[in-house]
Amino acid sequence: MRNTWRAGTGPGTRVGRPCQGHVSLLRRELLAAFAAMAVLTSGRMSGASAAAGTALTIDPGQRAAWLEQWRRNILAEARNRYCDTAMGEQIGWLISPLLEGFYYGYLVTGDADWIARLIDWTDAWLRRGVVEPDGYVGWPKVGAAGTDVDDLDSFYADSLLGEAMALRPVVLAAAAILRTPALEGRFGRTARDHMLVARRAFEKWDRRGAWRRAGDGMISVELPYGIDRRTGRWTEGVRDIDDLRVGFSHPDNKANLVALWLLAMTDATGEPAYRDRAAAWFRVMKSRLHPRADGTYRIWNYWQPAGPWDYRAVGIPKHWVGVHPNPGYYGIDVNAMIVAWQHDIVFTAADIDRLVRTAIATGRWWPALAPFDTTIRARFEQTLNPGGWAGLSLVPWYLAQQQRGSVSP
């Protein structure tokens, strides 16, 4: 079965810039990082059994070694300046890992220079936006959808996923700035500007119909239209955005990444619209989980139809339905479910316990579960590479939890 979701092309092949194959490699590594790093940011960490978490300790020498390796790694990677080139979905896969690393780097060190780096990268990305036909700013490219279903990658368009992935650490950093007097005086005005961008992004995608009702919830979708570069206007497909026969649902991992941004917006603003939209997706996500008698979950489908738009005229799904061989996609799902539980949304402590059992029974070792089980944690620590692409965010994320001594945010 062919996976019709794919990474787009790279920002170029200049020295220091990733070619298409390298972008795909970086994306695979990044999937492991996103599988864990949102867990620290918000919500409670209490509950029964595995969901209560366990005390986190680490050898001080190991901590110092990891932190130094990470520092050298992220500073070297930052010289590639993906923030000056990435567009569309690649904003998520190439820019957000550095933004996440800068944000968690601040949390683990308290050094405001990491916030300054985050702001530098964010502003370099944002200033490259173009005003699109509906008046909103975007970062379009051909191939931004990340799938060839319905020829979606043929459109010159921007990407909800790319923006959501990058805006999440930007929003979390803005919230940290505005609640910390020492940071607010230096970065407060910029933080408010970034929050305005995030609000406008939600408004943009909401008005463009990027979420659709699915059962008793909602799911994010890709729609077949973009910008006609000859005229500067939308292509003809814009007329069909409300047609429920048109469109293509995100796979679970992408819908979960979008929802993680919405939960960050919830934390930063306290406004219910973001929480409600995230909760609507998580109801769909939970409906796709099937418990087994042994206390585990059956591994869920990577993608499945969510509405009539996901079928061809003859009633055949537009994409294969089944378990994806890439475990990183499922790590993202698990992370999002944990963060939803932290926010008292849809998932329960019993669900987290069941996910732990599933990870151990299937040998999947999802990083986000490291705080909840000593076996998973030992495997995580053995395989963590502070000098790798995934390590850009995983190392400071994990050390920030260690610094707290527990998984409580």
Q: 46 or 355, which is more confident? A: 355
Are the C-beta atoms of residues 23 and 9 closer than 8 Å to each other? yes
Task: Give 165's DSSP letter.
Answer: H
Per-residue model confidence (pLDDT) at position 32: 54
Owning domain of residue 68: 29-404
Q: What's the pLDDT tens digit per position in 306-316?
A: 999 999 988 89
Both tokens of 231, joined, read 């005229």
What is d(CA 29, CA 251) in angstroms, rounded to the nearest whole number? 19
Is 300 within a domain?
Answer: yes
Average pLDDT estimate for 175-183: 97
Taking 60 as the threshold, does the pLDDT of residue 41 lie above it? no
Q: What's the pLDDT tens digit per position in 191-228?
A: 999 999 999 999 999 999 999 999 999 999 999 999 99
Per-residue model confidence (pLDDT) at position 59: 84
Per-residue model confidence (pLDDT) at position 16: 35
Per-residue model confidence (pLDDT) at position 75: 98
Both tokens of 182, joined, read 């020492």
pLDDT band at 19 (very low <50, low <70, confident <90, very high): very low
Is 20 within a domain?
Answer: no
Is 22 within a domain?
Answer: no
Number of folded domains in the chain? 1
What is d(CA 80, CA 40) in angstroms, rounded to the nearest whole number? 28
325's CB contacts (< 8 A; 6+ apart) are: none
End-to-end Cα, the chain, rounded Å = 41
Mean pLDDT lowest among 145-159, 260-274, 332-346, 390-404: 390-404
What is d(CA 393, CA 327) in angstroms, rounded to the nearest whole number? 18
Both tokens of 77, joined, read 């990677």
CATH code of the domain in which 148 resides? 1.50.10
Average pLDDT estimate for 143-167: 96
Angle between helices 96-109 and 112-126 (to 10 degrees): 160
Average pLDDT estimate for 139-163: 96
Is 276 within a domain?
Answer: yes
Taking 50 as the threshold, does the pLDDT of residue 15 lie above it? no
What is d(CA 16, CA 94) in angstroms, rounded to the nearest whole number? 13
Angle between helices 252-269 and 181-207 (to 10 degrees): 130
Is 254 within a domain?
Answer: yes
Taking 70 as the threshold, does the pLDDT of residue 241 lie above it? yes
Per-residue model confidence (pLDDT) at position 402: 80
Per-residue model confidence (pLDDT) at position 403: 77
pLDDT band at 43 (very low <50, low <70, confident <90, very high): very low
pLDDT band at 56 (very low <50, low <70, confident <90, very high): low
What is d(CA 358, CA 393) in angstroms, rounded to the nearest whole number? 25
pTM of the model: 0.90
pLDDT band at 54 (very low <50, low <70, confident <90, very high): low
Is 12 within a domain?
Answer: no
Question: Tokens 């998984």 appear where?
Answer: 407
Is 69 within a domain?
Answer: yes
Taking 90 as the threshold, does the pLDDT of residue 318 lie above it? yes
342's CB contacts (< 8 A; 6+ apart) are: 39, 42, 43, 44, 45, 409
Is 44 within a domain?
Answer: yes
